[in-house]
């Protein structure tokens, strides 16, 4: 009788120990995943905001203007822009969209990253929309990094890089 109860206790102890080991193992795996995603988030976040900031200040071939200036003109007019870019026979809105697509594709395709770029102005006017692929999973956003003052209000620009 005594031996039987001892055997049962030993069995119980083994189960408890195995259970504890399993929990420890699970915790260890979760902790490792968290640390990996933390560094990935940091790199993505920096990449999104730095890239958007740099791209907006880039000088274009349209009268030597920066993308920011083209977007300001585009937002002010609401009809495609006033500034005419002879180099590509386009007005500022179309030219800014096309140039941003070139800039982002040249930078993010080699890094194998999909993205979504959008701009919002008060009054539902969206003068900028460029994307590659569809962000189905997690995405890292550049906001709140880039707002451009225009005559029509503040133009908020946002770049999302897909993870």
Partner 1 sequence: MKTAKAQVKMFETIAILVVFFFLLGIGFMFYARIHSASTRAEQREQSVLKAVEIAQIASHLPELEYTFNNDPKGYIDFYKIDGANKTINENTAYYFTLFGNSRITINQTYPEEKSWVIYDLPRGESSFLTPVPTLIYDPVGNRKNLGIIYVRTYLQE
Contact between 6 and partner 1 by CB under 8 A: the answer reads yes
Indicate which single residue of 80, 107, 139, 156 sits in contact with partner 1 (rule: CB under 8 A). 107
Indicate which single residue of 37, 58, 78, 147 sits in contact with partner 1 (rule: CB under 8 A). 58
Find out whether 59 and 66 touch, Cβ atoms under 8 Å: yes
Contact between 98 and partner 1 by CB under 8 A: the answer reads no
Find out whether 119 and 157 touch, Cβ atoms under 8 Å: yes
Contact between 55 and partner 1 by CB under 8 A: the answer reads yes
Indicate which single residue of 17, 23, 30, 82 sits in contact with partner 1 (rule: CB under 8 A). 17
Contact between 37 and partner 1 by CB under 8 A: the answer reads no
Contact between 24 and partner 1 by CB under 8 A: the answer reads yes
Contact between 103 and partner 1 by CB under 8 A: the answer reads yes
Contact between 47 and partner 1 by CB under 8 A: the answer reads yes
* Residues in 123-152 at the binding interface with partner 1, rule: CB under 8 A: none
Structure tokens at 1: 């009788």
SS (H, E, C) 6-23: HHHHHHHHHHHHHHHHHH
DSSP state of 113: -
Distance of CA 153 to the CA centre of its chain: 24
Contact between 51 and partner 1 by CB under 8 A: the answer reads yes
For residues 141 and 45, what is the distance between their CA atoms, to the nearest angstrom? 7
* Residues in 70-89 at the binding interface with partner 1, rule: CB under 8 A: none
Find out whether 75 and 152 touch, Cβ atoms under 8 Å: yes
């Amino acid at each position: 009788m005594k031996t039987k109860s001892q055997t049962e206790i030993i069995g119980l102890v083994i189960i408890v120990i195995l259970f504890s080991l399993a929990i420890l193992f699970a915790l260890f795996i979760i902790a490792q995943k968290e640390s990996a995603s933390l560094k990935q988030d940091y790199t993505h976040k920096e990449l999104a905001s730095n890239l958007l900031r740099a791209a907006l200040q880039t000088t274009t071939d349209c009268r030597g203007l920066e993308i920011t200036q083209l977007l300001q003109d585009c937002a002010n007019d609401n009809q495609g822009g006033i500034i005419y870019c002879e180099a590509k026979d386009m007005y500022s809105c179309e030219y800014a969209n096309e140039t941003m697509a070139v800039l982002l594709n040249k930078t993010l395709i080699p890094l194998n990253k999909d993205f979504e770029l959008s701009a919002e102005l008060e009054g539902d006017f969206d003068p900028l929309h460029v994307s590659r692929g569809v962000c189905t999973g997690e995405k890292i956003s550049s906001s709140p990094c880039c707002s451009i003052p225009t005559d029509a209000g503040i133009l908020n620009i946002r770049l999302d890089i897909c993870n």
